[in-house]
Structure 1
Amino acid sequence: MRLTVSFLVFLASLYSSSLWGQTEFRLGVEVRDKYTKRPLVPIVSVLAVNTESELPGQMVNDAYVVKVNPGTQYQVFVAFQEYKTYRQTHTFEAGAPSSTGYFPFVIDLEPLNPPKTFAVATTTNAGHTILVIDKAQRSVVAKAVVTIKDERSGQFITAKKNPNVGGSWLAELKDTEQYTLEVSAPEYETYKSSLKIKAGEATEVVLNRIPKQELKFVAIDALTNKPVAAQFKLSDEIKESYTGTTKADGELFNPTVVVQKQPYNLSVTASGYRRYESKLSITTTSSAPATPQVIKLSKVDVILKIRIIEEQSGQPIVANLRVIDQADKRAILNIKGTPEGQAVTPISPGRQYIIEAEAKGFMSYQQPLDKVLPLLTETSDLTVKLAKIDDTYLSLTATDANTGQRIPAIFKITASLTEQTTEVRGTTSTIAKHKIKEPDIYKIEVVSNGYQSVTHDLDAEEMKVGQVFSYEAKLTPNAAKPAASPSHVFTFKVLDAQSRRSIPNLRFRVTSIATQKAIPAKVRYAFVTTQLFLDQAYLVEAEADGYEMYSMRIDAGDWAKRGEYLTNVSLISHKKAAAKGKPVVNEKIFDNIKAGQTLTIEDNVYFDQSSYILRPEAYGQLNRLAAIMAKNTDIKIEIVGHTDNIGDPRLNQTLSEQRAKVIANYLINQGATEANIAHRGEGQSKPIAPNDSEENRQRNRRVQFLIK
């Protein structure tokens, strides 16, 4: 017996040795100046040939470290300012790793302008390296200010520019201490965060550029509409200030300003013209070309003479008259009963006005001044014609229920007797009118974009000739749509666990646990990408013909916090040599477990049907899990047993509980910490497939390991 066991162990060692060459290893890409040998911190991308996904990596000292497989072809891209771009295909073979824990791969990058003479740089690693990177361009930010404060002592730590690596700083930091790191740079938002370093790993600080927006302005004469040479000043009374000029030939003032919540003050002056002042809010950016904003400048007030007459006869009418400034809704003229139908008021040519007039027996009048009198002179005459009411009208307006401001709307008017519907439109400056011919009750539906529609019954059964029925609809704005939950693209690399090659006819499912809806996933070669909301959890399942099904749970928010956007998935093929009825056991299934993951094992791996006695085939897999948990005491698991719906539900519940308990006890007996293990049974209550076939019932008979 001992001889047999020894022989099997010997074969296993030979088998594992043959696979050693297939094990991925850490590759460190070190980039230097070709001539001076000075270390550089460029943009480095490594991706397998015929794939689109870049390998994840991190900076360790002056190297960009990724995990690669021997014998696989990789494309390596290196880009750095003022250097030629490096683009080559390589196949890497593992050698003896350096003291840094990775196999070094050195690239000598050639500058665009090679020096005639040069000196080889001497390297220094005195202190912890802090890299400052532009988020969008992935280029170094050279003009940064780095401030570090020891949180325990309150002392500031000096950060010096690294003379050998552009865009990096060195500071004497300890991996046992907590620091506050603040980085600022011109044109960038200030970065501030708590910092605890890891020995041998550089700290990368990513800075966001301050958002800016291009603006365009032109000044014109309010009366002639001709361009005017003017001086512009845009300031926020804090620190931002932009000045410039426009010319009489139409040259624009074209500043690019910081986007912010604080409004800007716009001031425009020109010789012989009145000073123009207004508030300007720039709170968002736009990629569309900037449209010039026209500023009308006036030398003096315009005298507006208004005459109100009857449209049919041309005779003057005594009427109520209002002239309203559109900007602040202030009435600059308000006369009740114009003497002889005439009125005079000064107005500023650079502003916009609404003219309103009403008289008994006449249709009311409301028009924008620039619509009825587009060109002003120093003395401008406006004739307002009121139409005498010979018919009966509906006068309809709509206002915002919160602000009282008039809003554009569509009025759908339906007569009760004829059931005929007519639509009329009202704007912010005009009243909707509808002539009615028969006494009736009219149903009015009012619709406006961004508001809740309303309906109203207007009683006009006792109508008189010349009567006006008025209705003002007060509309409530729609509730603001909740902000879309943040999301991120997650990538899964699915390979054969033995050959490390992609799997043909891969079936990959992502299901929202909350909604039970399938989430779209794009499969390309070995890579699967899917967009997941960070506030949700998902069930991920991968399967292919000839392979065991793989499933896991993803709490997307937790994974995003840890930066785990790429996950390796290994599918185990069914061994052809396995004895009939004997399940194939993957003893390495628990090797890369992490918090938030759920692993599902079919129950026939661990138990015979209707039994909770552990099968010997499961020992190797569970022994490996117990060893992992004993070594990593932070790992906590919950074991959950499930059954199909065959038989008494109460017996199924008991069976699932006993199976989970047996597995938990086995792990504890093998050295796992008891406090880190929980177990429960769900019986037949939580199937993952309909119990309508033996294949689906087998999927439901399972044991889940929830990693916490």
Structure 2
Amino acid sequence: MRLTVSFLVFLASLYSSVLWGQTEFRLGVEVRDKYTKRPLVPIVSVLAVNTESELPGQMVNDAYVVKVNPGTQYQVFVAFQEYKTYRQTHTFEAGTPSATGYFPFVIDLEPLNPPKTFAVANSANAGHTILVIDKAQRSIVAKAVVTIKDDRSGQFITAKKNPNVGGSWLAELKDTEQYTLEVSAPEYETYKSSLKIKPGEATEVVLNRIPKQELKFVAIDALTNKPVAAQFKLSDEIKESYTGTTNAEGSIFNPTVVVQKQPYNLSVIASGYRRYESKLSITATSSAPATPQIIKLSKVDVILKIRIIEEQSGQPIVANLRVIDQADKRAILNIKGTPEGQAVTPISPGHQYIIEAEAKGFMSYQQPLDKVLPLLTETSDLTVKLTKIDDTYLSLTATDANTGQRIPAIFKITASATEQTTEVRGTTSSIAKHKIKEPDIYKIEVISNGYQSVTHDLDAEEMKVGQVFSYEAKLAPNAAKPAISPSHVFTFKVLDAQSRRSIPNLRFRITSIATQKAIPTKVRYAYVTTQLFLDQAYLVEAEANGYEMYSMRINAGDWAKRGEYLTNISLISQKKAAAKGKPVVNEKIFDNIKAGQTLTIEDNVYFDQSSYILRPEAYGQLNRLAVIMAKNADIKIEIVGHTDNIGDPRLNQTLSEQRAKVIANYLINQGATEANIAHRGEGQSKPIAPNDSEENRQRNRRVQFLIK
């Protein structure tokens, strides 16, 4: 029925709220070693599917925190040296935030060279570790209940929460015994399986969330289309039941229901209106935003008076008439030979109907009631006009192949014998008709804006007077043509960091972060060339036997703006890196410190590459500094971390901050006064040498102690 202007405005605002009403939440991406569970600080990128823009984020403790919307698909990309790159698509749902104010999402990175056996961090000699993880989000499930039964003795084994590793439980289990493990948690399907542990390895239990679907309902008056205050109940007559109300201002009933095979019964009641009941099947989830389902409530039946006449003369026709209720496909009226071409039937304004009429010598009639009579009143009159068939006709319609809805189209009809072509048009509410005079095979081409055209051969060689040949064309929508983005050729020069010579057996890879597909490259000696789209970001990886792996993330558009089409990459020999692994540490460097003095120490003295975990070699030097500060309360220091310009600037900034913070915390734990210590990170922003060689980049990777 026809919507009033006010209700159209209401629906528009309602639809807008559906699109924008999702509540974003803070997601913390925590990355750790798959085997040791040691925290890592890698390159992390999160971007919505089918977009090129990376979500802005910041490091909070050991997590990279971004804001995401529930139900939206995101691509998560994680890269770290000596680890396999992580590329997965996830849909996040808000859960219970951690004490830091974000919902944790844990990623376990697989090392390139995994150990043969491993033990979960901090669980040695405490029993077997059982990790409980959300399957879709790879986040910990904190509120799980873990039950373990010894199959041989029938006794239950106690499982206690591991205080050192979140989302894990400890139990005294033997590798010689067989157990039955059952894990349950609110909002998750129960996990049950046999268990036989392996020495030194944790057991990971992956839980599936119970699938749910958001629904929206609004009640309106079937005649006026105005919102109605109503009570809703959605139940499956077994265990699930959802209730709610709407008001006369147009509020919605918005339940989130369990997806199941059992259909739901929807019941709607409102004062002064008839009770509405229907069945609703929710058998699969949908990532699309829920759109309101409009429930039309009626106070009384509408009396529908139908009059059937000949279109040409206007005279009444005795015809066969059917009125079909679309809700259950039931004919509420079925008359063979309407007396004087008239019929009367009660209908419910909240239902949809199809009107069908046919009479000998006339073209059949079939139309939705709301198309031919958009506005109902308590007594509604409908005139059905039938077209007399004096000749033979083609009856042509076009529908959307996906939705089945009728669409406007042009029909080009070509007779095979004469090759003459005639065009007729059909609309969403009318059938295209074409009179044919000679028996023939007619070629029909169907064209509609936004759809792929189709052709069909209609055989009318055995035509009879008054015969109607019907054809319904099903058109597929055109595929959207992606816009071609600008691109440019980029060149990478890869050399040995020490000898400055090309590297044999170089393996060079560029991956689009948006599509996760490898980009074709051409390698000639030390030069690698490739064509990159300027609106995309890429991961660049270079490796060779005997060298440390190199990786960085680039935004092609930003590089093009700066004219950086040639990039030099230096690979470090593993022998050289190993030689630098244990530098000589001067433990007396802080013995004669004075106010105004600045001491600079290369970062590899304190840390391994890309790590902020202190090396044991640094303990003696820092212990000596802590003692000096404890004895001299007037000494104040500021610790400043610096990096070179290799890799993601955001990661470099975070790494420098974390390293300075770790050194400060170590000194405080060793007895230095916290008020006398400040720390900050400068990332790659303050180099002391050009980043044009490995030697200069080594000078820029440093930790400074500013004595005050």
TM-score if structure 2 supplies the norm length? Answer: 0.50
Taking the aligned partners of 1:141 and 1:25, their CA distance within structure 2 comes to 18
Indicate the larger mover: 494-503 or 427-436: 494-503
Taking the aligned partners of 1:421 and 1:20, their CA distance within structure 2 comes to 50
Query: Closer, same or farther in 2 for the Cα pair 1:289/1:500, shift >3 Å?
Result: farther
Query: Closer, same or farther in 2 for the Cα pair 1:66/1:492, shift >3 Å?
Result: farther
Indicate the larger mover: 614-623 or 252-261: 614-623
Q: Are the equivalent residues in 2 in contact too, given 1:414–1:442 (CA < 8 A)? A: yes
Query: Closer, same or farther in 2 for the Cα pair 1:616/1:6, shift >3 Å?
Result: farther
Query: Closer, same or farther in 2 for the Cα pair 1:407/1:702, shift >3 Å?
Result: farther
Q: Which residue in 1 is equivalent to 2:519?
A: 519
Deviations 1:641-696 (A, max 9, x none): 99999999999999999999999999999999999999999999999999999999
Aligned-residue offset at 1:595? 61
Taking the aligned partners of 2:344 and 2:33, their CA distance within structure 1 comes to 80
Query: Closer, same or farther in 2 for the Cα pair 1:194/1:385, shift >3 Å?
Result: same
Deviations 1:265-304 (A, max 9, x none): 2111122222222222223333433211100112222211
Q: Which has the bigger relative contact order, CA under 8 A and spacing at least 6? A: 2
Taking the aligned partners of 2:393 and 2:562, their CA distance within structure 1 comes to 68
Aligned-residue offset at 1:211? 3.0
Query: Closer, same or farther in 2 for the Cα pair 1:575/1:241, shift >3 Å?
Result: closer
Taking the aligned partners of 2:29 and 2:346, their CA distance within structure 1 comes to 76
State the secondary structure of the residue aligned to 1:664.
helix
Query: Closer, same or farther in 2 for the Cα pair 1:377/1:431, shift >3 Å?
Result: same
Q: Are the equivalent residues in 2 in contact too, given 1:38–1:165 (CA < 8 A)? A: no
Indicate the larger mover: 448-457 or 678-687: 678-687
Taking the aligned partners of 1:619 and 1:543, their CA distance within structure 2 comes to 33
Taking the aligned partners of 2:19 and 2:429, their CA distance within structure 1 comes to 80
Taking the aligned partners of 1:572 and 1:11, their CA distance within structure 2 comes to 63
Indicate the larger mover: 100-109 or 665-674: 665-674
Indicate the larger mover: 503-512 or 48-57: 48-57
Taking the aligned partners of 2:512 and 2:701, their CA distance within structure 1 comes to 21
Query: Closer, same or farther in 2 for the Cα pair 1:695/1:21, shift >3 Å?
Result: farther
State the secondary structure of the residue aligned to 1:370.
helix
Q: Are the equivalent residues in 2 in contact too, given 1:149–1:179 (CA < 8 A)? A: yes
Taking the aligned partners of 2:624 and 2:18, their CA distance within structure 1 comes to 21
Query: Closer, same or farther in 2 for the Cα pair 1:543/1:596, shift >3 Å?
Result: farther
Aligned-residue offset at 1:159? 1.8
Taking the aligned partners of 1:319 and 1:489, their CA distance within structure 2 comes to 74
Taking the aligned partners of 2:342 and 2:672, their CA distance within structure 1 comes to 98
Query: Closer, same or farther in 2 for the Cα pair 1:636/1:547, shift >3 Å?
Result: farther
Taking the aligned partners of 2:574 and 2:34, their CA distance within structure 1 comes to 51
Taking the aligned partners of 1:298 and 1:91, their CA distance within structure 2 comes to 41
State the secondary structure of the residue aligned to 2:393.
strand
Deviations 1:299-318 (A, max 9, x none): 22221110112223322111
Query: Closer, same or farther in 2 for the Cα pair 1:484/1:465, shift >3 Å?
Result: same
Indicate the larger mover: 222-231 or 404-413: 404-413
Indicate the larger mover: 27-36 or 84-93: 84-93
Indicate the larger mover: 517-526 or 387-396: 517-526
Over the aligned positions, Cα root-mean-square deviation in angstroms equals 24.4
Taking the aligned partners of 2:218 and 2:12, their CA distance within structure 1 comes to 82
State the secondary structure of the residue aligned to 1:181.
strand
Query: Closer, same or farther in 2 for the Cα pair 1:357/1:114, shift >3 Å?
Result: closer
Query: Closer, same or farther in 2 for the Cα pair 1:254/1:69, shift >3 Å?
Result: closer
Aligned-residue offset at 1:609? 45
Q: Rg: which structure is higher?
A: 1
Taking the aligned partners of 1:341 and 1:15, their CA distance within structure 2 comes to 44
Indicate the larger mover: 442-451 or 177-186: 442-451
Indicate the larger mover: 53-62 or 219-228: 53-62
Taking the aligned partners of 2:101 and 2:249, their CA distance within structure 1 comes to 68
Indicate the larger mover: 664-673 or 527-536: 664-673
Indicate the larger mover: 232-241 or 211-220: 232-241
Indicate the larger mover: 588-597 or 166-175: 588-597
Q: Are the equivalent residues in 2 in contact too, given 1:324–1:330 (CA < 8 A)? A: yes
Q: Are the equivalent residues in 2 in contact too, given 1:28–1:65 (CA < 8 A)? A: yes
Aligned-residue offset at 1:224? 1.5
Q: Are the equivalent residues in 2 in contact too, given 1:366–1:430 (CA < 8 A)? A: no
Indicate the larger mover: 598-607 or 219-228: 598-607
Deviations 1:612-640 (A, max 9, x none): 99999999999999999999999999999
Indicate the larger mover: 398-407 or 186-195: 398-407
State the secondary structure of the residue aligned to 2:578.
coil
Q: Are the equivalent residues in 1 in contact too, given 2:49–2:514 (CA < 8 A)? A: no
Aligned-residue offset at 1:251? 1.0
Aligned-residue offset at 1:355? 0.7
Task: Give the percent of matched residue pairs that are identical in Structure 1 and Structure 2.
Answer: 95
Q: Are the equivalent residues in 2 in contact too, given 1:660–1:703 (CA < 8 A)? A: yes
Query: Closer, same or farther in 2 for the Cα pair 1:279/1:600, shift >3 Å?
Result: farther
Indicate the larger mover: 110-119 or 619-628: 619-628
Q: Are the equivalent residues in 2 in contact too, given 1:366–1:431 (CA < 8 A)? A: no
Taking the aligned partners of 1:499 and 1:2, their CA distance within structure 2 comes to 80
Aligned-residue offset at 1:354? 0.7
Taking the aligned partners of 2:186 and 2:647, their CA distance within structure 1 comes to 72
Q: Are the equivalent residues in 1 in contact too, given 2:72–2:287 (CA < 8 A)? A: no
Aligned-residue offset at 1:160? 2.9
Query: Closer, same or farther in 2 for the Cα pair 1:571/1:111, shift >3 Å?
Result: closer
Taking the aligned partners of 2:557 and 2:704, their CA distance within structure 1 comes to 22
Q: Are the equivalent residues in 2 in contact too, given 1:31–1:106 (CA < 8 A)? A: yes
Aligned-residue offset at 1:146? 0.8
Q: Are the equivalent residues in 1 in contact too, given 2:688–2:699 (CA < 8 A)? A: yes
TM-score if structure 1 supplies the norm length? Answer: 0.50
Which ranges in structure 1 are unaligned for 5 or more consecutive residues?
Answer: none
Q: Are the equivalent residues in 2 in contact too, given 1:460–1:469 (CA < 8 A)? A: yes
Which ranges in structure 2 are unaligned for 5 or more consecutive residues?
Answer: none
Taking the aligned partners of 2:400 and 2:73, their CA distance within structure 1 comes to 64
Query: Closer, same or farther in 2 for the Cα pair 1:322/1:156, shift >3 Å?
Result: same
Taking the aligned partners of 2:163 and 2:212, their CA distance within structure 1 comes to 32
Aligned-residue offset at 1:379? 1.7
Aligned-residue offset at 1:256? 1.6
State the secondary structure of the residue aligned to 2:653.
helix
Q: Are the equivalent residues in 2 in contact too, given 1:585–1:621 (CA < 8 A)? A: yes
